[in-house]
Chain A
Amino acid sequence: MNVRLAAALLCLISPPVFAQGFAGLGTEAGGFAVPENPLTFDFPADHGPHPEFRIEWWYLTATLTAPDGTDYGVQWTLFRSALAPMTAEGWEAPQLWMGHAGLTTPEAHFSAERLARGGIGQAGVTPDPFAAWIDDWAMVARDPVSGDALDALALTARGMEFAYALSLTANGPLIFHGDAGYSVKSAEGQASAYYSQPFYTVTGTITLPEGDVPVTGSAWLDREWSSQPLSEAQEGWDWVSLQFDDGARLMGFSLREADGGRYTSATWIEADGTTQAYPDGALRMTPLAEAQVAGRSVPVEWRVELPDRGLDVTTTPLNPQSWMDVTVSYWEGPIRIAGTHPGRGYLEMTGYE
């Protein structure tokens, strides 16, 4: 998940604050905290919000299949964006929340957006028992669990034409990106706290205009927070989460810079949760084919290479028109993987709006 999108929310709400974000490296613009290496995590508290940081999200993607073999994809995201590094009760709490929900079928893509302010209970996150919600959209701990607070979740969202209700069960540990969760986002050193739960199995129901469809599949949850938007030179981001048939996973992103350069980062995740982080340059992401989406040209097919792992795959979208038609629009949808490591995954591309 991407800093830029949340920064866009911030930008939307507060252009001057956003501009200050570029002021300099390591400064605590506006009194917000910045992630410092090494990070120490404290769960379940860290599953909850960090109001002292400017931006944060709970972001889940699921690749699903119906009994008839049709593939689907689901996205559920809750963003938090702070106008000031504090919480408060009531209407004037300086925390804004934005929810995005997406549902992709081979023929259609649905998206919905909700906005809310903090302090009145319309949206928020509590760590224990875990609950993240905006309006009637929710990601909540399903039962009291012995393991991690995120191990068993119920996920719901509803748009004008669609809805879904999924049950998620983790069968692997939390994994940490970068240097034990300290994920560097640019050569200048902008960084975020970034961990994932990539090992969910999913059952549930998606509701389409045609009716309900039972589905099963797997899901991936990302947690990230920081205070600094991307480097000024970075225009957008192409991000993948890949689940290979052999049980291994890969998270990779490639930040596009104005001069045509790219900053890449990757985390290789073994089936048992062992991770290896790769620095800038180890991962190569090359666009293969573009599609006309919502009036712009978007690279929807990619070649992804990680030579160190002998990885060389191509990705094709379930639906090239997976455009999130929300206030700040972007492409986000399920993909199929072919090549040395076949499987399924999710692709997100921003900065094409």
Chain B
Amino acid sequence: MVYTAVLTLLSHWRRHPGQLLTLVAGLALATALWSGVQAINAEARASYAEAAATLGQDQLSRLSRADGRPVPLADYIALRRAGYLVSPVISGELRDGPARLRLLGIDPLTAPPQTGAPALEGEALDLAAFFTAPGLLLMTDETAAGALPPDLPPIVLRDTVPPGAAITDIGTAARLLGQADPNYLLVAADQPAGLPPLDEARDLRLQGPSTTADIGSLTDSFHLNLTAFGLLSFAVGLFIVHAAIGLAFEQRRATVRTLRALGLPLRTTLVAFGLELAGLALFSGALGLVLGYAIAAALMPGVAGTLRGLYGASIPGTLSFDPVWALSAIGMTLAGAGLAGLQALRRAAQMPILAPANPRAWAQASARSMRMQALAAGTLLAVGVGFAVVGGSLEAGFATLAALLLGAALILPATLGLILRLASRSARGALSEWIFADTRQQLPGLSLALMALLLALAANIGVSTMVGSFRETFTGWLDQRLAPELYLSIADPGEAESLLAFVRPRAEAVLPIVSTEIPLAGRPGEVFGQVDHATYRDHWPLLAAAPGAWDRVADGEALLINEQLARFAGLTLGDVLEITPDLSLPIAGVYSDYGNPTAQASVTLTRFTETFPDVPVTRFALRVPPEDAPALASALRDDYGLPPDGVVNQAQIKRFSLSVFEQTFSITGALNVLTLGVAAFALLTSLLTLATLRLPQLAPVWALGLTRARLARIEVVRSLILGALTFALALPVGLMLAWVLLAIVNVEAFGWRLPMTLFPIDWLRLFALAMLAAALAAALPALRLARLSPTTLLKVFAHER
């Protein structure tokens, strides 16, 4: 009996393949975005766990010479011949005028797997070409598109290479850089049994992998971000499913009534509906998984780049398949489809057998349900404000966001209804009056889709405002903070004097930079020693400063801390910070320090060297007239003989910082666009649904003297009006969202607060996009209406419906 019932229900789809497509697409899209994001998160988390388990650190140890010179090839061979698993790297910079390219020459035959070297197997790379002249250069398309030195070997695009750099075979690097000796050796984490420890074996210096904090906790905020986006997309996808299921149910009302009249028990009817839904959900879920996997695979290299750039976390740019992931995604799809189908099932359960098979406009908006919804919205908004006020954690920040978004979405129909009622009062002419009245009547049917659109638009505005504010503050801060024109580093502290002798006559000022890693207020941190110089006084942005802050710091009586430290440890001006038992100073100022996850404190160089006499000065910032910087950099490399990595100019650092920044938010941008697309699709399906249900309401208007074409145009205009109104409401919601992101989430996640900047041009662009989405969504139903055969409309009058 159930079988027959299911078959009868399924026969509906054969006659409405478009509807089936909508339902499947909705579920698949929802699953895809959700599972895609989950896949990325799972992959990243798995690789953190792996890194923690096998290495305890995120990178490999390195062997290099204490004097910073390359390791003689003979030394490398001697290590290999002694049995150590070390792998050579030749790195350097190719320069031609402004064009620069950092080369990383690796030996894939010996490179440990964590190197990120191109695998010998399974990757579409011509290894023979990689090994033999002229060789191949692996770089991102962004690097490839930039200014490059001439006469390079063929380029192969790889998303996982750091910006501005190329990975190549060590032979190729040796030839291009004219250097046979490796700059350093990578040390495999596991060494063969029975060898003495490596650091006793040679006079080379073994550097442990550099890491400052547990990567998992650092990157949590990033993943939470992704998860929030995934959930948002899933919710938006469910709106589509809800619309499609609702339509399918309405259209089968008569069938269900007949089935029940013929003696099919209610239970069986419901079971049949449930089975049908489950079947569709399984199929669509599977489809969504495939899509999700594709999305994740496409986004993965970007995510890997971001995590490496922002947090130094190394994760693979590729994706592995995890059955648990697949199962949980399918489970999510089933649950979501169940939720979306609940209303239809409930209506089927409550429908009396003898009810007229008269499809009313599907949810005749009762004022009561609207009021309930508004009440829930109010509660949510209050909860959101509560979380914002209490705050204190990343979770609270995201709870604020969730409550705010959901509340705003729920209150949307009531608000739109109010606006339309007000607008209809001022409407002149029968047609405009009808348009407003009719639009209001359609609101219940469209409200879910409009809520989805609101969410997507608000998220878009919020995130782009956040990113934009961040970018503006960050670039401004970089310009300010990176005042010195050149930064030098030496490997051998003994070299400092000769370097200073070389540099002093050529530079306006030489500022030593010295730092050491030390826990600050119980958190991984770094202490800097600085000389007193106008460069700092003029350029370091202090968020808060005691009177005469710089003088007191210069006198060794006070210190400066970064915003992150101040926020997490609750330190304010005048508080005393203990750096070591011997060094405790009051805080004279707090400086902004974007892009750095760790705590920092800054004292005078004198204080620093007193406290940490063993820490050598190996870095210097140089002030020179900007136009002289390139010449001095070349002189340092060519005349003084500083290795290419030893001189970095300000512009390079800025460029690198900004490219890491852009990479960080590229995935956010991609998800934004996807969410908006899904919302537009939700609107389309809702409009398609309504188009069928609304024929009885349109037919009389047509009969009274409007052409179908005109009615169709009105449909598009109506969609545009609704889109515009939704945008108008999304704008304040999005700005609130941005505020929460900047003032709460960022502070919790990164430890810094950013001023909010508004970007009206972006809003205009988004408004245009929203209008386009609304127009596109209305286009198909409108086109159908315009081409509708009069016979179809006449059936409204002729048939008993």
- Enumerate chain A interface residues (CB-CB to B < 8 A): 12-17, 83-84, 90-92, 94, 96, 115-117, 120-122, 133, 135-136, 158-163, 207, 209, 327
Say yes or no: A83 contacts B128, CB within 8 Å: yes
B74-110 interface code vs A (CB 8 A; 1 in, 0 out): 1011001111000000000000000000000001011
Chain B residues positioned under 8 Å from A209 (CB to CB): 193
Instruction: Out of B80, B121, B131, B194, name the residue touching A122 (CB < 8 Å).
Output: B80
Residues in chain B near residue A96, CB distance under 8 A: 109, 131
- The answer for the CA separation of A159 and B195 in the assembled complex, in Å, is 11
CB distance from B228 to the nearest CB of A (A): 42
In the complex formed, the residue of A with least CB distance to B192 is: A158
Main secondary structure on A side of the interface with B: loop
The 5 closest A-B pairs by CB, nearest first: A91-B171, A14-B128, A136-B83, A115-B109, A92-B171
Q: How far is the CB of B176 from chain A (nearest CB, A)?
A: 11
> Of residues 562 to 611 in B, which have CB atoms within 8 Å of A's CB atoms?
none
On chain B, the residues within 8 Å of A14 by CB distance are: 127-128
A selection of 14 A-B contacts at a CB cut-off of 8 Å is A13-B128, A15-B126, A90-B171, A91-B171, A94-B131, A94-B132, A120-B73, A121-B73, A136-B80, A158-B193, A159-B193, A160-B190, A162-B193, A163-B193
Residue from A13, A90, A136 in contact with B174 in the complex, judged by beta carbons closer than 8 Å: A90
Query: B120 near A: Cβ within 8 Å?
Result: yes
CB-CB under 8 A from A120, the residues of chain B are 73, 76-77
**Nearest A-chain residue to B130, judged by Cβ:** A13
With a CB–CB cut-off of 8 A, which chain A residues contact B83? 135-136, 158
Asked if B180 lies at the interface with its beta carbon under 8 angstroms from chain A, I say yes
Is A160 in contact with B132, judged by CB distance below 8 angstroms? no
Q: Is B170 interfacial (CB 8 A cutoff)?
A: yes
CB atoms of B133 and A117 under 8 A apart: no
A117 touches B128 (CB 8 A): no
| Interface contact B132-A327, CB-CB below 8 Å | no
Does B133 contact A135, Cβ atoms closer than 8 Å?
no
Closest to B135 in A: A92
Contact between chains at B131 and A327 (CB < 8 Å): no
Identify the interface centre among A84, A120, A209: most chain B CB within 10 Å of its CB: A120
- Once the chains bind, are A163 and B132 in contact (CB under 8 Å)? no
Per-residue CB contact flags for chain B residues 163-191 toward chain A (1 = under 8 Å, else 0) read 00000011110110000100000000010
Q: Tell me, in angstroms, the Cα distance from A16 to B128 when the chains sit together.
A: 8
Determine whether the beta carbon of B180 is less than 8 Å from that of A327.
no
Asked whether A159 and B192 contact (CB < 8 A) given A120-B77, A136-B80, the answer is yes
Which A residues are in CB contact (< 8 Å) with B133?
92
Contacting pair B81 A133 (CB below 8 A): yes
Q: In the complex, which of the residues B74, B77, B131, B170 contacts A83, with contact meaning CB atoms closer than 8 Å? A: B131
| Residue of A122, A159, A161 with most chain B CB atoms under a 10 A cut-off | A122
Residue of B81, B127, B169 touching A136 (CB-CB under 8 A): B81
Tell me the minimal C-beta distance from B105 to chain A in angstroms. 8
Q: Which residues of chain B have C-beta atoms less than 8 A from A158's C-beta?
A: 83, 192-194
What residue in chain B is nearest A161 (Cβ atoms)? B193
Residues of A contacting B193 with CB < 8 Å?
Answer: 158-163, 207, 209
Smallest Cβ-Cβ distance to A91: which chain B residue: B171
The residues of B with any CB-CB pair to A shorter than 8 Å are: 73-74, 76-77, 80-83, 107, 109-110, 120-121, 126-128, 131-133, 169-172, 174-175, 180, 190, 192-194
Residues of A within 8 A of B121 (CB): 12, 327
Taking the closest CB of chain B, its distance from the CB of A75, in whole angstroms, is 17
Nearest Cβ on chain A to B185's Cβ, whole angstroms: 12
* A residues less than 8 Å from B190 (CB atoms): 160
Distance between Cα atoms of A159 and B132 in the complex (Å): 29
Residues of B within 8 A of A16 (CB): 126, 128
Known contacts being A84-B132, A115-B110, A163-B193, is A12 close to B180, with CB within 8 Å?
Answer: no
* Docked CA distance A59–B74 (Å): 27
Inter-chain contact A83/B132, CB cutoff 8 Å: yes
- The interface residues of chain A lying within 8 Å CB-to-CB of B107 are 117
Query: A160 to B193, alpha carbons, bound, how many Å?
Result: 5
The answer for the CA separation of A163 and B192 in the assembled complex, in Å, is 9
Q: How far is the CB of B706 from chain A (nearest CB, A)?
A: 69
How far does the alpha carbon of A12 sit from the alpha carbon of B121 in the complex, in Å? Answer: 7
Q: For the complex, what is the distance from the CA of A163 to the CA of B120, rounded to whole Å? A: 26
Question: A121 vs B128: C-alpha distance in the bound complex, in angstroms?
Answer: 21
Q: For A13, what are the chain B residues with a Cβ–Cβ distance below 8 Å?
A: 120, 127-128, 131
Q: Are B132 and A91 in contact (CB under 8 A)?
A: no
CA distance A94 to B135 in the complex (A): 12
Contact of A122 with B77 in the complex, beta carbons under 8 Å:
yes
A312 and B77 CA atoms in complex are apart in Å by: 49
B174 contact set on A, CB distance < 8 A: 90-92
Task: Choose among A90, A122, A160, A207 the residue that contacts B180 (Cβ–Cβ < 8 A).
Answer: A90
Contacts of B77 in A (CB 8 A): 120-122
**Contacts of A90 on B, CB cut-off 8 Å?**
171, 174, 180
Q: How far is the CA of A302 from the CA of B202 in the complex (A)?
A: 51
A15 and B124 CA atoms in complex are apart in Å by 11
**Which residue of the partner chain, among B82, B128, B180, contacts A91 with CB atoms under 8 Å?**
B180
Q: Closest approach, in angstroms, between the C-beta of B135 and any C-beta of chain A?
A: 8
Contacts of B192 in A (CB 8 A): 158-160, 163
- 10 more CB-based (< 8 A) A-B contacts, given A16-B126, A83-B128, A115-B110: A12-B120, A13-B120, A13-B127, A13-B128, A116-B80, A122-B77, A122-B80, A122-B81, A160-B190, A207-B193
B76 neighbours in A (Cβ, 8 Å): 120
Residues from chain A with Cβ under 8 Å of B131 in the complex = 13, 83, 94, 96, 117
**Contact residues in B for A122 (Cβ distance below 8 Å):** 77, 80-81, 110
Q: How far is the CA of A84 from the CA of B190 in the complex (A)?
A: 34
- Shortest CB distance B197–A (Å): 16
* Chain A hits for B126, CB < 8 A: 15-16
Give the CA-CA distance A58 to B175 in the complex, in Å. 31
- One of A84, A117, A207 near B109 (C-beta < 8 A): A117
